[in-house]
Structure formats: C-alpha cells, structure tokens
Amino acid sequence: MVTLTLMPIEHVPVLATELLDVLDPHPGETAIDCTFGGGGHAQEIAERVGSGGTLIAIDRDPVAEQRFAELEDELEPQTRFVRADFADALVALGEEGVRADVIYLDLGVSSLQLDAAERGFSYSYDAPLDMRMDPEDRLSAADLVNEWPQERIATVLREYGEERHARSIAREIVRRRPLHTTAELVEAIRASVPPAYRFGRGHPAKRSFQALRIAVNGELDSLDRVLPAAWDLLRDRGRLAVISFHSLEDRRVKRFLADRIRGCVCPPELPVCVCGHEPEAEPLTRRALAATPEEIERNPRSHSARLRGARKLPRGTDTDDERNLA
C-alpha cells in the first residue's frame, strides 16, 4: 500500500464556465465526473444538480480520493467516489444499471499530481522517476527508461510526445542508464538535442515527459475505451464533454463525436440515401473551445486546453448537424 500526503491546494479548474455552459446541468440530474482530481469542476456541477441530484466521482489517484473525502460534506447531491481507471469504472457502473444525464472528463495530469514534486510528473522538480497516477500500478517511468529497448523508447517519444528528436533522446537515455530522478532524465534530454532546441521556446523535456507519462499510465488506451463507455451510460438528451490538453487526445475526442453526429454515410455520388444511418448526437460545440486570454493569464496551464461536447439524441431524431466537428 502506497501512502501519499494530501497537501493544501488552491485548485483552479480549467474552462469551468465553458464546461457548465456546454453541459447545462439541471437540478435533480445525475452527473459523473470521470477525472475528479482536486474537485474544482465537481463543486460547480454539484451546485447545479443540487440536493435532489447525484454526483459520482471517479479517479485512479488515492490523493483524489482523499480530496473527495474532504469535500464530500460540502456537496449537496448524493455522492459516491469510485477509485479506478475511468474506463473500467464506467463499465462497472453500466453493469450496475447506472445512467447519467451529464458525463465529463478533464484529461491529462491534474494539479494535485503535477504540483507534488515527489510524484515525478514535472521536469521542474528533482524527484524520483515515477509518473504513476495510481502509485500502486506496477510500471513506473523509471522502469520504462531503464528496462525498455532503445527503439521502443524512441517510439514512445515519437508517437506520444510528437518529439522530433526521439531517436537521439532514446539513444542518450540508454547510454546513461540507470536513471533514477527527473533531473537525470532532463539532463539526458538536454544533452541529446541541438542548442536551438535546448534554449528555444518551451522546455526541451516537455514532450518527452508527456510521452513517458502517457505510456506509464496507458492514457490513450483508456481514452479510447472510456468514450464509448460514457456514451452508453448517457440517457437520451444526456451531455458528454471532454477537456483535452494535446492533439493526441483532442483528435480522438473529435473523431468520436463526429462519428456520432454524422448521419448518412453513403458515397456522395449516390442520388438517395440507402445506408439508413441515423445521427446519434448533436454538437454542443461547433469547434473546440479554448481558454480566454484572461483565463490564460490567471492560470497559464489552461493555454492548451480544448473543450468539445455533444448531446445524445433519441433514436429516430432528425438533425441538420451532420458535419464533422472543426
């Protein structure tokens, strides 16, 4: 059992106003927060669904569970916390017969994790190479960089971090093994990239840290599983919203929602529809919503946030919103 200490926090939820506008929660509804974290979004949603509503919070991080316990008495709705990967949790809730009016996800690393130096998520602190969202998981970032073959590490950096210097970084990591701390990893990255990259815009380790975190926690696999699970749990007219922080996540969300918004899938040369495919959703965001300049100034971590959402339609509903999301 891994014990983590919950530090006092001032949690600032990203795109909170926009999320509330998109989800439009009403009194008495059931809401599922798939990424509870510090509870900022949940507190806003709980206020809207009120004492007659239900809030189910999900997170794989035990620190988030501690945070929920701190806030639970302040929340008006009937509440419940599920500590699990969000895809696994939604599947289990569906098997229980749970249905929701509102489901939302705030993807990526939370402030609780990023600001806890000992968790090893940040390149700004010298800490053990960990990066596990659930500290009881087997694979850590140290295991990955010290045990995986060079080519596999390069593939992770290239595919999950879109890192242009993936091969040289992986080569330097292997040359310096074993690596035990975030500072050692940062130095390996600095030593393997050109000077213009080291001193250019942004931290040279940013993409590599993102890639390793995604691989350690299986984030993209979980996202691919959670979206259909969330859609299945929604009642008719239920709303799904997702906040993502990089293109790998956003592309998956965009494609998933677009596939459900699209109606006819016949080839354009056919004069009449023969597929009978009906749209399952209508868009709640015409294109991804971004943080305002004012929010970015208050909370720089919001600068890359993108919000997309859709409403689930009853079968047989006509809609004009059959275009792909921009």
Write out pLDDT tens, residues 304-324.
999 999 999 998 665 555 444
- Asked if 104 and 226 sit in the same domain, the reply is yes
**pLDDT for the residue 135:** 93
Domain of residue 103, residue span: 16-112+219-312
- Asked if 238 and 208 sit in the same domain, the reply is no
CB 82 within 8 A of CB 92: yes
Confirm whether 325 is domain-assigned: no
- Asked if 251 and 213 sit in the same domain, the reply is no
Question: In this predicted model, which residue has the larger pLDDT, 191 or 322?
Answer: 191
**CA atoms in the 13 A half-sphere facing the CB of 229:** 22
- Asked if 244 and 284 sit in the same domain, the reply is yes
Instruction: pLDDT band for 8, please (50, 70, 90 cuts).
Output: very low
Which of 217, 245, 277 lies at the terminal end of a domain, its last residue? Answer: 217
Look at residue 326 and tell me whether its pLDDT is greater than 80: no
Confirm whether 4 is domain-assigned: no
Which of 201, 217, 233 lies at the terminal end of a domain, its last residue? Answer: 217
pTM of the prediction?
A: 0.90
Cα 156 to Cα 166: distance, rounded to the nearest angstrom: 8
Residue pLDDT, tens place only, 39-75: 999 999 999 999 999 999 999 999 999 999 999 999 9
For 134-143, b/e burial (b = at least 16 CB within 10 A) is ebebeebbbe
Look at residue 264 and tell me whether its pLDDT is greater than 80: no
Q: What is the CATH number of the domain that holds 149?
A: 1.10.150.170
Look at residue 245 and tell me whether its pLDDT is greater than 90: yes
Instruction: pLDDT band for 269, please (50, 70, 90 cuts).
Output: confident
- Asked if 104 and 229 sit in the same domain, the reply is yes
Confirm whether 105 is domain-assigned: yes
Confirm whether 122 is domain-assigned: no
Look at residue 303 and tell me whether its pLDDT is greater than 90: yes
Confirm whether 318 is domain-assigned: no
Look at residue 157 and tell me whether its pLDDT is greater than 60: yes
Confirm whether 323 is domain-assigned: no
Which of 188, 217, 246 lies at the terminal end of a domain, its last residue? Answer: 217
**pLDDT for the residue 316:** 65
Confirm whether 85 is domain-assigned: yes
Confirm whether 150 is domain-assigned: yes
Average pLDDT, the chain: 92
Average pLDDT of the residues in 200-215: 92
Question: In this predicted model, which residue has the larger pLDDT, 275 or 5?
Answer: 275
**pLDDT for the residue 289:** 98
Look at residue 5 and tell me whether its pLDDT is greater than 70: no
**pLDDT for the residue 11:** 66
- Asked if 99 and 238 sit in the same domain, the reply is yes
319 burial class (0-12, 13-18, 19+ CB within 10 angstroms)? Answer: middle
Region of poorest pLDDT, from 152-156, 260-264, 268-272: 268-272
> Number of folded domains in the chain?
2
Look at residue 10 and tell me whether its pLDDT is greater than 70: no
- Asked if 236 and 308 sit in the same domain, the reply is yes
Q: What is the CATH number of the domain that holds 20?
A: 3.40.50.150
Q: Write out the chain in H/E/C secondary structure.
A: CCCCCCCCCCCCCCCHHHHHHHHCCCCCCEEEECCCCCCHHHHHHHHHHCCCCEEEEEECCHHHHHHHHHHHHHCCCEEEEEECCHHHHHHHHHHHCCCEEEEEEECCCCHHHHCCHHHCCCCCCCCECCCCCCCCCCCCHHHHHHHCCHHHHHHHHHHHHCCCCHHHHHHHHHHHCCCCEHHHHHHHHHHHCCHHHHCCCCCCCHHHHHHHHHHHHCHHHHHHHHHHHHHHHEEEEEEEEEEECCHHHHHHHHHHHHHHHCCCCCCCCCCCCCCCCCCCEEECCCCCEECCHHHHHHCHHHCCCEEEEEEECCCCCCCCCCCCCC
